[in-house]
Structure formats: C-alpha cells, structure tokens
Amino acid sequence: MYFSDLGIIALILALGFALYTVIASILGAMRSAPPLVASAKRSLLAVTFFLLLASAALVISFLRHDFGVNYVAEHSSLSMAWYFVTAAFYGGQEGSLLYWALVLSLFSALFVVTSKRAPSAFVPYVMATLMGIESFFLLMLATLSNPFVRSAVAPKDGAGLNPLLMDPGMLVHPPMLLMGYMSFSLPFAFAVAALITGRLNAEWLRSIRRWMLAAWTLQTAGLLLGAWWAYHVLGWGGYWGWDPVENAALLPWLTATAFLHSTMVQERRGMLKVWNLFLVIASFALSIFGTFEVRSGLISSVHSFAYSDIGAYFFGFLAVVLLFSSALFFFRLPALRAEQEFDSVVSREGVFLLNNLLLVGMTFAILWGTLFPLISASFRGQTMTMGPPFYNQVVAPMIVLLVLAMGIGPLLAWRRTSLTALWRNISTPAILAALCALVLPVLGITDVAANIGFTVCTFTAGAILYEIWRGARVRHRHGESYPRAVYMLFQRYRQRYGGYIVHLGLVFLVAGIIGSHYFQQQQDATLKPGQDMNVAGYRLTYLGNIDEKDSDKETISAQVQIWRDGKLQSYVYPGRVIYSNYPDQPTSVIEIKTFVATDVYVYLADWQGAAQATIRVFINPLVPFVWWGGLLMILGGILCWWPTRRRLATAVRPRTVVEKESVKEKPEQVADGGVIA
C-alpha cells in the first residue's frame, strides 16, 4: 500500500465527515438539540484529523520521491533540497487546494475549541458554513484535482519545481497568502450565522472582530512577502507590478480594512449595519475570486496555473456564495436600519465613512482593471488590458487622501467637532507638514505629486506620534516615567495604540512607494573586466564572470565592486542559475545592497563567457521603508488582535487630544478610542 492510497482514503473520509457536520449542525440548531451540536463539533475535529493525515501522506510521498504519484513527479526531482521538496507540497494546483482545505480545517478546529467565547446561537451555523466551504474543496480534491493520482509507470526522476519557485521566499510567501485567503472564511461564517439567527446587534461584531483582525494580519503578511519575493527574485527592480493575481490578493485586504474601521461606527453610533455585512461578504467573495482567478486561466498572469476545468467549478461556487449570502442579506434588510444619523461631516464617523468610500473605491477600480480584459473581449472582440499607468493614476490620489484621513480621524470627536477645536488639535502636525513642504524643494525634490505625498505622510506621522505623546504625558503626570507610560498605553489599550502602529506602518510604506516610484534610476552597461559604470553617485567596477557547475545546475556570476565617494563599499555577485531540468528558464540571483535608505539593485542581464557582461543597475530610494512599514503594520495587527487583560477599575485612562477638548465642549462627545486598524 502506498502513502498516496492512504491520502485518497483520508480525503474521502474527510469529505464524509464534513457533510455530516453541515447536516448535524443545522439540525442541532433547528431542533435545539445540544447532543447533535456536540456531535457536529466532534465530526469537525475528525475532518481536521483526516486532512492532517492526507497532507502528511502527500509530504511523505514527496520526501520518499514516489514519482508514481503524478503530482510528485511534476513538482519535484531527486536533486532538489529536502526543504524545496517539502515546499513543493503547495507548488501546484492540487497541493495548494489541499493546503487551503487543511488550514481551513485547522482554523475551524480552533473555533470549536474556543467556541465558548462565541454566542451559543451562532456556533452551529458557523460550523455548518465552514464545513460547507470545506466540502466544496474536498469534493474538488477527491475528484477533479486529486493530488494522489498515480501513473501506470513511475519515471526514474521528476521534472522538478519551477525555477522561479526555487527560492527561500517559496517557503513562506505562498502558504501565508493562501492562509490569508482562507482566513476570511471565519468572518463570513459569523456573518451568515448572524443573518440566519437575526442577532444583528453589536454582539456579532464583537464575535467577528478578532477573526477579521487575524485574517487582515495574515493577508498583510502574505502581500508583503509576495512583494519581497518579487523584488528579490524577478530582476525588474520593482516589488509590485499590478499583475491580475497581485490585484486579486489586494482586493479582500482593502474591504477587510474598510470593515475594521466601519465596525467602530456601528458599535459607537449604531450606524453602517448594512455596510458592515456587505464588507464581510465581499471580503470572502473576493478571496474566492482570487483563488478562482489563479486556477481558471481566463486572465493572463505569470502567477496563474495552466487552464483547467476546475475554474468553472470555482466560478459556480462563487456564484452560489453570492446568491446565498445576498438572499440572507435582503431577507434581514428591514432589521438593519441605522439607529442614529450623521450629525456632522466634521466628526470621527464622517472621516471613517470617507475612509470606507476611498477603500471601496480602490477595490472597484482595481477589480475593474483586472476584469477589463474579459469585458473588452466580450463586447469588442479583442482583449485589452489595463497597465500600471491606469492603476497609478486612479489609485494613487485615493491612497494620498486615505493617508490624510488617517491623520485627521483620531483628532476628531464623535458626533461633531468645532472648527476651533479641530484647528487646535491639528496645528502641531500641520506645522510639521508645512516645514516638510518647505524643505523638500531645498533638498532638490521638485516633483509636485511627490511633494504632496511626502507632505501628507509627514502630517499623518506627526498626528500619530503627537497622539501617542499626549497619552504618555497624561500617564507621566500620574507618576510614570515616559518609557513606562508608553509601555502601559500599549499594554492596556492595545486596539487603539496597535491601530496607531498600523497607521504609522502604512505611512512608512506609502513614503517608500513614493520614493521608489518617482526617483528610481536605471542604467544598463555592457562591460569588460576593469570597466566602470556610474549611476546616481555610485561607481560599479566589473571584474569578470565566475562559472560554477553542479550536478543539477550551472551558476554564472558577475563579480562587481560598488564604490561611493572614492571608497569601496561592497563586492556583489549578480548572477543567473540554469537548472538542467529547465534549461530555457534561467533564474536570477539579484544582489541588493542598502545604504541608509537607498537600495543599489544589481542584475546580470546578459553575459558572454568570462570576458563580458551586461549589468543592469537600479537605484531605488526609500524601498527599505516599504519593508519597515509592512513589518510595523503586521506588528500593529498582532497588537490589535492580542487579548487584553481585564482592566483595573482604578486604571489611568489617557485621553486623546480631541477628548481633552471635547470634555470642555460637551461631555457626551468624548471619544472612546476604538480599533484604529
């Protein structure tokens, strides 16, 4: 008996238990039968066990080099290192679907273990929804996309992994992004449970928040790792190319970000109930759309798998999700009326609404650009694509407005804020922004769009740091040192101050995008040993090529020196790797050296023996800000998600700037500081 046989049996059993969980959960809820619900919980855990067993069977098949399994033969070879052999588990369509289903089962099991924290009426419907999704994936795995299918004759060696995936980024980026896609299932399941039970008050928002924060953080990490992988592997000097699959991964992140802001308005004012449910459903639907897009082959992308029939089934599943959730949504629409109305545009909820409109506007623009090839082919008979200029022109202004709103929002009170109080609160960050606008031309930065972007980033960073300083000063006045005061702020009010960290990270990220987009410099030169090229104050000296041959690959590296101000800064060895299994797909070895906040990006474009090479150099200012900002966003997301200890009744509560002013004007306008994520 092969391990692949065990894997097939495990998939079939997992499918059976998933279907039973759906039925038992629904019947248990409808009949108010706790034993049935308990049975459904145990059945769900059985699904997790069998998917772990199936996944282990596939990994063992890879490690044993069982090339009789078609999937193993197509994505691994004898010469691959064991960690790449293991990572090949999710290197193709079948394995990635199994990984998706496995992680969904693990998250579902985590929900069952922690279900005492959720409203009891929600639990069976959440389980039924999760296992309904799981059943679809298991049905695909057991039939159309089975990773355990065997061939009649096993080859002596496999084809090996795609050379572009033979990189450490392969070990972290795909599983993190797939986990991000999957994690939107949990908030969606809570939304379905709330719609079915009719319990649409703030209770379901409290239940869903931590799951949505976890999904948002995972998707943020997946996007950041994807950008990092592209930057270090592909050799084009950038980290985001507006590829359709990249766009699809960004879409649910945008709607989830909008939801995390608008939930505060519903909890505080009883408004935006319809909007919040729409955003949860949209986030899950867009995650399924992203999974469908990679597997349908309908939209051309360097990330897509080859066309397969499974794409049509994913489209059908997406249609069922939209029809089912829309029917529930409209059925409960009368119960979703707002409890209050907006009092003033100059208020915290007004800025949150603007924030949401910008995020959804970006979502629509990116979705439109992604689907435009299909739309143009259907109506005009020719395929037309939207390139990066379209996205940059449409999305960039909205990002700048979003960053500005992030800075103003925390400085406003709920309901309304007087213009006098508003100016008093924003004066300090406004002065910092004005100084930035004056200094930038002196530094030689004269591009109007870049100056506006940097000025807005300065304003928002100043507003965030000013708020943190104000909170620390309140605690300092009660006897705490400033370091202790800052620590206690983050310890006791993680959602608010974790949100500030997220915002600060986004400011860094946007500043990095502006710097690298507007001020990147590129130069190519064909050099012989001893010759130089000069780019933006850096001198690169080419010394010759090094050719190294192994059993499964050949590596050609150019030896280059980097000089700055007459001093040798570093040796770099940009190269190309040619794998014997893929001789027509040489991969790049990119050399990136960071000097303060500027990357010197060196790429071997071409070579001739040991005596000549074409070197391509990019000078990328502020790209490190992208990675620092992304890490801050992930850290802030974890802080928001991390459970807080129960507050002491005598705890010092630091008020924000706007709270200080609001107390003077009208007590009921005091802001309470929610999740600013």
- The model's pLDDT over 196-230, given as tens digits with 9 standing for 90+, comes to 998 887 778 888 888 999 999 999 999 999 999 99
User: Which carries the bigger pLDDT value, residue 79 or residue 64?
Assistant: 64
List, for residues 418-475, the tens digit of each pLDDT value: 777 777 788 889 999 999 999 999 888 889 999 999 999 999 999 999 989 988 998 8
Higher pLDDT, 107 or 80: 107
pLDDT band for 671, please (50, 70, 90 cuts). Answer: very low
Mean pLDDT, residues 592-616: 92
Q: How confident is the model at residue 295 (pLDDT cuts 50, 70, 90)?
A: low
Beta carbons within 8 Å of 535's beta carbon, 6+ residues apart: 521, 523, 617, 619
Over residues 37-51, mean pLDDT: 97
Domain boundaries, the chain: 1-161, 162-337, 405-513+633-669, 519-623
pLDDT at 174 over 50: yes
Task: Say yes or no to pLDDT of 675 above 50.
Answer: no
How confident is the model over 226-238, as a mean pLDDT?
A: 91
The reported pLDDT for the residue numbered 308 is 61
**Nearest CA to 512 among 233, 228, 262, 261?**
228
Find the mean pLDDT for residues 7-32: 96
CA atoms within 13 A on the CB side of 398: 19
What is the reported pLDDT for 161? 84
pLDDT value of residue 342: 67
The yes-or-no verdict on residue 677 having pLDDT over 50 is no
Tell me what pLDDT residue 632 has.
96
- Average pLDDT of the chain to the nearest whole number: 88
DSSP 180: H
Residues 529-540 have pLDDT tens digits of: 999 999 999 999
Which residue, 94, 90, 48, 66, is CA-closest to 155?
Answer: 66
Residue range 162-337, CATH number: 1.20.120
Q: Tell me what pLDDT residue 296 has.
A: 60
Residue 670: predicted pLDDT: 34
- Higher pLDDT, residue 296 or 52: 52
Task: Please determine, for residue 653, whether its predicted confidence score (pLDDT) is greater than 80.
Answer: no
pLDDT of residue 445: 87
Query: How far is residue 37's CA from residue 586's CA, in Å, rounded to a whole number?
Result: 55
The average pLDDT across 271-275 equals 84
Of 90 and 184, more confident: 184
Name the one residue in this structure whose structure tokens are 């010469």: 79
Asked if residue 235 has pLDDT above 50, the reply is: yes
Sequence-distant (6+) residues with CB within 8 A of 64 are 3
| Residue 195 phi, psi (nearest 5) | -70, -40
The answer to whether 162-337 and 519-623 have equal CATH topology is: no
Distance CA(19)–CA(106), nearest Å, equals 17
Classify 65 as helix, strand or coil: coil
Residue 527's CB: how many other CB atoms inside 10 A? 20
Of the listed ranges 16-20, 165-169, 266-270, the one predicted with least confidence: 266-270
Q: Give per-residue pLDDT as tens, 124-144.
A: 999 999 999 999 999 999 999
- Band of residue 299 on the pLDDT scale cut at 50, 70, 90: low
Q: Is residue 402 predicted with pLDDT exceeding 90? A: yes
What's the pLDDT tens digit per position in 336-351? 776 767 666 777 888 8
Structural element, H or E, at residue 445: none
The predicted pLDDT at position 410 comes to 82
pLDDT of the residue at 53: 97
Lowest mean pLDDT: which of 45-59, 77-91, 595-609, 647-661?
647-661
Mean pLDDT on 241-249: 89
Q: Is 191's pLDDT higher than 70?
A: yes
* pLDDT tens digits along 543-601: 999 999 888 889 999 999 999 999 999 999 999 999 888 888 888 999 999 999 999 99
Report the pLDDT value the prediction gives residue 337, as an integer from 0 to 100.
77
pLDDT beyond 70 at 659:
no
More confident residue, 310 or 284: 284
Q: 519-623 in CATH: which number?
A: 2.60.98
Mean pLDDT, range 289-310, rounded to an integer: 65
Query: How does DSSP assign 265-317, residue by residue?
Result: HHHHHS--HHHHHHHHHHHHHHHHHHHHHHHH--S--TTPPPP-THHHHHHHH
Which range scores top for mean pLDDT: 53-67, 167-181, 377-391, 467-481?
53-67
In this predicted structure, the answer to whether residue 661 has a pLDDT above a threshold of 50 is no
- Residue in 25, 39, 213 with CA at minimum distance from that of residue 123: 25
pLDDT band at 188 (very low <50, low <70, confident <90, very high): very high
The model's pLDDT over 319-339, given as tens digits with 9 standing for 90+, comes to: 999 999 999 999 998 887 767
CA angle 649, 653, 658 (to 5 degrees): 145
Say if domain 1-161 classifies as CATH 1.20.120. Answer: yes
pLDDT at 346: 72
pLDDT band, residue 660 (cuts 50/70/90) = very low
Task: Give the C-alpha separation, 162 to 576, whole Å.
Answer: 15
